[in-house]
């Protein structure tokens, strides 16, 4: 084992399926460098692929959205609307992005008429109306203006 900082405690073998060793290896479990998550409800790639609402599909959708909309990429303009919870900003002048990584809901009042007509592109737990942005716990939203 390498001396110094060791990230082994924050990593486990890829959990591919619900089979032995989570589909990572056919070796005996005792031979693995790191043990797999023993929880029978552990997330697996197979389970994530089967669930259209999974984190895997959400990330794939967000990557596709970013590729399709240059304004969401590194060349898009950025205007910070609120730099606390929830984080709110405009990208490319056409997309409102809301992120609330906090475990409690937040309401953000606004007086910007262009936000009132925002159309959800991809979101989970965020609502935008004529006067407020409401972000539930651990929520995000991308809205087209």
Are 59 and 83 part of one and the same domain?
no
How far apart, in Å, are the Cα atoms of 129 and each of 76, 81, 107, 118? 24, 16, 11, 8
Are 60 and 80 part of one and the same domain?
no
**pTM recorded for the entire structure:** 0.79
User: In sequence order, which ranges of the chain are alpha helices (DSSP H)?
Assistant: 45-50, 55-68, 113-116
The CATH number linked to 116 is 2.60.40.1180
Q: Tens of pLDDT along the chain (145 residues)?
A: 444 556 666 677 889 999 999 999 999 988 888 888 888 888 999 999 999 999 999 999 999 999 999 999 999 999 999 999 999 999 999 999 999 999 999 999 999 999 988 999 999 999 999 999 999 999 999 999 9
Q: Which of 119, 115, 141, 126 is nearest to 62 (CA)?
A: 141
């Amino acid at each position: 084992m390498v001396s110094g900082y060791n990230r082994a405690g924050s990593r486990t073998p890829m959990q591919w399926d619900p089979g032995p060793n989570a589909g990572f290896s056919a070796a005996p479990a005792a031979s693995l460098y790191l043990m797999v998550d023993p929880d029978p409800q552990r997330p697996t790639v197979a389970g994530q692929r089967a669930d259209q609402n999974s984190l895997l599909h959400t990330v794939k959708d967000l990557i596709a959205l970013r590729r399709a909309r240059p304004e969401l990429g590194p060349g898009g303009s950025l205007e910070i609307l609120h730099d606390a919870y929830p984080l709110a900003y405009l990208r490319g002048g056409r997309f409102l992005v809301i992120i609330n990584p906090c475990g409690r809901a937040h309401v953000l009042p606004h007086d910007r008429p262009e936000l009132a007509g925002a159309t959800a592109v991809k979101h989970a737990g965020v609502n935008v109306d004529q006067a407020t942005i409401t972000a539930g716990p651990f929520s995000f939203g991308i809205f087209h203006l």
